[in-house]
């Protein structure tokens, strides 16, 4: 008998028929004697509908009240899921985030979980119930309703699994697991049976949109083993866990391509202390997230100068260009070039630590394909390059073939 936390996203509970499917799946686990805690998101479309109502009233609604509003989405799903379990003859009780003992800080719309007191969940489980908890939400110590922001339901599931010392945490989604590459682009892509937290983090940060970074970070911090799997079939998914020795035998775990990047290059930045700081502080003040930064060695006659390139999310490009233009006088660079026809191609694997020559091999493969490399950035377990957008898919297939087939 195991204690399992299962999380179902908005698509998996998108209508009453799907909610009944969730109930049937839960019933299977109960039938084999497991205790089950179910975490659900709002039915797909519900949250967007509520946001639209608020925006009808004002474009800048209060964050506290948005939390009050949006928390109703998950609350509806937990009630419907409990009703669906009852209709199968299973005892089930729904709990809001607050009722489940999820306490957060007071940063509305992106609250952080401070602690979980799962006594009510334990009590209900011990009485034989399936316990259904609203994902994405909690309450402050003062009793205000909060939401956890994007990917919040995954976080609820993983945090509950940690607090309950669950044997297993399953994240049900509409894909079968984590793949070596996006199968729509790379037909030879395979499902990865096991992946290390760090690899999952690097893949998520490289455009593979399986889960939000913060949920994986939380799982890593509290060492919660979780499985990403499909709510549409019974196939085993991908287990995400602490790195094991055998994982290092695989050099590259996955290949990803992030089309959502744009590049800005500043030519002729005076090579003096504080210039880069001034640039990136201005971007940060404008709430623009910078991903890769590459600065070349100093060059040129007269005052030594350098070229500085960085990438931002594509939707932020216009705003970033505007910020940079305003710095021309104080920073003293010569000119800027913005390029949105680029993407970030990455290979990820903990095996890179113990295998040398991975970068060289990657660059060889790309050269062979005629793909020009614009920027390079590496971490211990990841190599990312900026390439021309139109070459992305071809390059992915080539790297996948070289490292993973």
Alpha carbons 300 and 321: distance in angstroms, whole number? 25
Name residues whose C-beta falls within 8 Å of residue 294's C-beta, 6 or more positions apart in sequence. Answer: 308, 309, 310, 375, 376, 377
119 binds a second copy per the rule CB under 8 A? no
Q: How far is the CB of 114 from a second copy (least distance, A)?
A: 19
Query: Which residue lies nearer to a second copy by CB, 84 or 251?
Result: 84
61 binds a second copy per the rule CB under 8 A? yes
Structure tokens at 358: 């991975």
66 binds a second copy per the rule CB under 8 A? yes
Q: How far is the CB of 75 from a second copy (least distance, A)?
A: 5
Count the neighbouring beta carbons within 10 Å of the beta carbon of residue 55: 11
* Footprint of a second copy on 332-391 (CB under 8 A): none
Query: Which residue lies nearer to a second copy by CB, 82 or 323?
Result: 82
CB 240 within 8 A of CB 292: no
Please give the span between the terminal C-alpha atoms of the chain, in angstroms, as a whole number: 39
Q: Which of 4, 26, 90, 93 binds a second copy (CB under 8 A)?
A: 93
Q: Which of 1, 31, 56, 165 binds a second copy (CB under 8 A)?
A: 56
CB 178 within 8 A of CB 236: no
Q: Which of 26, 37, 38, 69 binds a second copy (CB under 8 A)?
A: 69
Judged by CB under 8 A, which stretch of 62-70, 175-183, 202-210, 267-275 contacts a second copy?
62-70
80 binds a second copy per the rule CB under 8 A? yes
103 binds a second copy per the rule CB under 8 A? no
Q: Which of 3, 83, 103, 290 binds a second copy (CB under 8 A)?
A: 83
143 binds a second copy per the rule CB under 8 A? yes
* Footprint of a second copy on 15-34 (CB under 8 A): 16, 19-20
Strand partners, 294: 309
SS3 call for 384: strand
Residues 147, 40, 239: CA angle, nearest 5 degrees: 105
64 binds a second copy per the rule CB under 8 A? yes
CB 385 within 8 A of CB 373: yes
Q: Is 283 exposed, middle or buried, given 0-12, 13-18 or 19+ CB atoms closer than 10 A?
A: buried
Q: Which of 22, 36, 38, 82 binds a second copy (CB under 8 A)?
A: 82
117 binds a second copy per the rule CB under 8 A? no
Alpha carbons 126 and 356: distance in angstroms, whole number? 52
87 binds a second copy per the rule CB under 8 A? yes
Residues 291, 295, 301: CA angle, nearest 5 degrees: 155
SS3 call for 134: strand
By rule CB under 8 A, what count of residues binds a second copy?
35
124 binds a second copy per the rule CB under 8 A? no
Query: Which residue lies nearer to a second copy by CB, 53 or 286?
Result: 53
Strands (E), 124-217: 130-134, 137-139, 145-147, 168-173, 194-196
75 binds a second copy per the rule CB under 8 A? yes
Structure tokens at 55: 């925006």
Contact residues toward a second copy (CB under 8 A) are 16, 19-20, 50, 53-54, 56-58, 61-62, 64-66, 68-69, 71-73, 75-76, 78-80, 82-84, 86-87, 93-94, 96, 99, 143, 145
């Amino acid at each position: 008998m195991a204690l399992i936390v299962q999380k179902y996203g908005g698509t998996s509970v998108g209508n009453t028929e799907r909610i009944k499917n969730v109930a049937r799946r839960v019933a299977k686990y109960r039938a084999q004697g497991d205790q089950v805690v179910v975490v659900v998101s709002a039915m797909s479309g519900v949250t967007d509908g509520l946001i639209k109502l608020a925006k009808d009233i004002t474009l800048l609604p209060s964050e506290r009240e948005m939390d009050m509003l949006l928390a109703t989405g998950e609350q509806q799903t937990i009630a419907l899921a409990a009703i669906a379990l009852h209709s199968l003859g299973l005892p089930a009780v729904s709990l809001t985030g607050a009722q489940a003992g999820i306490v957060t800080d007071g940063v509305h719309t992106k609250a952080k979980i401070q602690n979980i007191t799962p006594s009510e969940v334990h009590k209900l489980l011990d009485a034989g119930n399936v316990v259904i908890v609203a994902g994405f939400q909690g309450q402050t110590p003062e009793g205000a309703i909060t939401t956890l922001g994007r990917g919040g339901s995954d976080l609820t599931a993983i945090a509950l699994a940690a607090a309950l010392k669950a044997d297993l945490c399953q994240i049900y989604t509409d894909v079968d697991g984590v793949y070596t590459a996006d199968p729509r682009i790379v037909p030879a892509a395979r499902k990865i049976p096991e992946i290390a937290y760090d690899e999952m983090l690097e893949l998520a940060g490289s455009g593979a949109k399986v889960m939000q970074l913060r949920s994986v970070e939380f799982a890593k911090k509290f060492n919660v083993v979780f499985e990403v799997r499909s709510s549409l079939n019974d196939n085993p998914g991908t287990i995400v866990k602490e790195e094991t020795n055998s994982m290092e035998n695989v050099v590259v775990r996955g290949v990803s391509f992030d089309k959502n990047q744009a590049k800005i290059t500043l030519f002729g930045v005076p090579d003096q202390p504080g210039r880069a700081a001034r640039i990136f502080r201005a971007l940060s003040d404008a709430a623009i997230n910078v991903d890769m930064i590459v600065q070349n060695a100093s060059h040129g006659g007269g005052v030594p100068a350098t070229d500085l390139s960085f990438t931002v999310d594509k939707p932020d490009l216009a705003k970033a260009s505007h910020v940079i233009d305003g710095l021309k006088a104080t920073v003293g660079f010569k000119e800027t070039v913005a390029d949105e026809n680029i993407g970030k191609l990455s290979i990820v694997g903990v095996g890179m630590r113990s295998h040398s020559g991975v970068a060289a091999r990657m660059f060889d493969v790309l050269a062979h394909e005629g793909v020009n490399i614009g920027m390079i950035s590496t971490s211990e377990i990841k190599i990312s390059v900026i390439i021309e957008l139109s070459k992305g898919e071809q390059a992915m297939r080539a790297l996948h073939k070289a490292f993973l087939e």
